[in-house]
Structure 1
Amino acid sequence: MFTRVDLSAVQTVYRLCYVRTPWAWFTRIPLDQQWGEHWERAPYMREAGLPYSDKPDQILKVGFDGPLLSPEEGEHAHPCSVQEVNARHVPWLRTESYLGGPTIHIMAGVTLRRFTELVELAGGMVYAPLGWGELPEVQPMSHAAS
């Protein structure tokens, strides 16, 4: 069983700023102003900390799955810093096509909406926190007379 969370109000407000599989962090502030501990160091998976958040709604963290690789994984892997990824030198996530099909690149700064579309296009799914949306109202069940 799962519950759908309505994130329509924030789908274009938050932009991708950090990934540590299976989590993706989105920020409301410009990418060049979003920071975390040691974001200038490479490789980011070993050196960098999570995004800083000065306000309760500055960062949105979502889960995801699917056949997506970080900059330090796969055939074209190389160490890079969060700063380099957020400058769009490499994608945060990508697919690798071994059969000649198109590859998917998820770059820093994509909106939550576009991130969800691209993860689903790759065959994955995005999981949002329940606290970040309106849950549907539960309708009372009608009982038939027996």
Structure 2
Amino acid sequence: MKVSIVMGSISDRGISEKVTKIFDKFGVEYETRVISAHRTPYQAVEFAEKAEENGTEVIIAIAGKAAHLAGVLAGVTSLPVIGIPAKSSTMDGLDSLLSVVQMPKGVPVATVAIDGGENGGLLAVQMLSIKYPELREKFKEYKKEMEREVEKMDYDLTQRK
């Protein structure tokens, strides 16, 4: 199982690191690339055309501002694409969000929150868990872990009274 994380710019590295932290936790193989939909469009198309052949099963595209990367990749591949809009200096990331989420009919991109690296990684894990049942079990345990953490916070809060 392999996920390709594609950043439109190296400035998206912080979001990418949130994704890779999730993948490391779940044991998901990944590669990270910098490919721009606007500055290296031919490389973006070539990457998307060859992704499945190269063993990629899910693509995560991280981009800000015009944020066309996820859409360009989704337009070329039949693999699932998850878009993570990056907060840019303009419009607090709303411009990025709208660019990623407003896809035309027939070219879906699953979209998570602005700077939502963790959820992008988790959504990829859930997609892969359809094929890899061991990931589904790890994901169930992850959810139980979150439940225990919230219960502990609640307990700690209520015991201060």
Higher normalized helix content (fraction of residues): 2
**Structure of greater relative contact order (alpha carbons < 8 Å, 6+ residues apart):** 1
TM-score (norm 1): 0.30
